[in-house]
Amino acid sequence: MEYTNLGRTGLKVSRLCLGTMNFGPKTTEPDSFAIMDRALEHGINFFDTANVYGWKIGEGITEQIIGRWFEQGGGRRDKVVLATKVYGKMSEWPNGQGLSARNIIRAADDSLRRLKTDYIDLYQMHHVDRSTPWEEIWQAMSTLVDQGKVLYVGSSNFAGWHLAQAQAAAEKRNFLGLVSEQSIYNLLTRHVELDVLPAAQHYGIGIIPWSPLHGGALSGILRKQAAGDAVRALEGRSQEIIEQQRPTLEAYEKLADQLDVDPANLALGWLLSRPGVTAPIIGPRTQAQLDAALGALDVQLDDETLAKLDELFPPVGNGGPGPEAWAW
């Protein structure tokens, strides 16, 4: 396993991050335990979850599964860099969501209880909250850090200017501020290259791409569909993407065959080659999917292959950061 620093911090995380969103809704608890054990065997030490995962309001089903896994002992908690999130709806009452100080503090305590741990390594804001001032957010986060309940703070689904706002407010408090940003980023969705990536690199914020296979579309979906193995291809968004992008996906899978690389690992390998990317999130439903994803670490892409991928999946505008991407 390869490791890198999380943003500008001294914290070392694996180049692949284990996403746990399937644990509970699609993967049974015993199978989830087995996947997490296998991840540690592979050297994956970076696990990502959220208080809303499990998708039953207020229950935090996925966090509970991880907590029971930690409870088995064997050094599991010490080996894991644990990331969870706050923002989503955890109550029918108005203060059970968002980034108010009240919700941040209460949600952190609830996550700690479900996860059966004393601290969260990386506490991420799941979305920007335009109704809460940064002074309030950082007051709550700094309280959690002072209490030892949170070690680092990250964001998710922020724009570049939100990162700048957040860091400016944190600096006023002499607070470390954001160390990571979790964004949707893959060959089919490259908007973050305009401003999020440049801002993150400027501030030393590590990028953690979610949906690196764009809902399975980059996993060799056409080949799987032809073989009757593409479960996700039958789901709404995936089917729509397939129909819209079929010629491109056909050419992409042909390129992967020419390179003798699994299409999913080609997509992950491309992300691993991007400047500023810390670790793409992989969300295996089975141990076999987890094992297969490790092949991405061996993918080496030369300039010719990168150029072909840019032809198939053009960056937004002229490519690179704004304003050059859309203006002289």
What amino acid positions are annotated as catalytic residues? Answer: 53
The answer to whether 282 touches 293, Cβ cutoff 8 Å, is: yes
Residue the block writes with tokens 């894991």: 80
CA–CA–CA angle 322, 324, 328 (5° rounding): 140
β-bridge partners, 46: 81
Partners of 171 in the β-ladder: none
| Contact predicate 240/213, CB 8 Å | no
Residue in 1, 156, 140, 23 with CA at minimum distance from that of residue 83: 156
Distances (CA, A) of 197 to 135, 166, 194, 322: 24, 15, 7, 10
- CA 204: distance to chain centroid? 17
Location of structure tokens 């203060």: 95
State the Cα–Cα distance between residues 296 and 118, nearest whole angstrom. 33
What is the C-alpha R_g of the chain? 20
Residue 286 DSSP symbol: S
Secondary structure class of 237 (helix, strand, coil): helix
d(CA 4, CA 221): 30
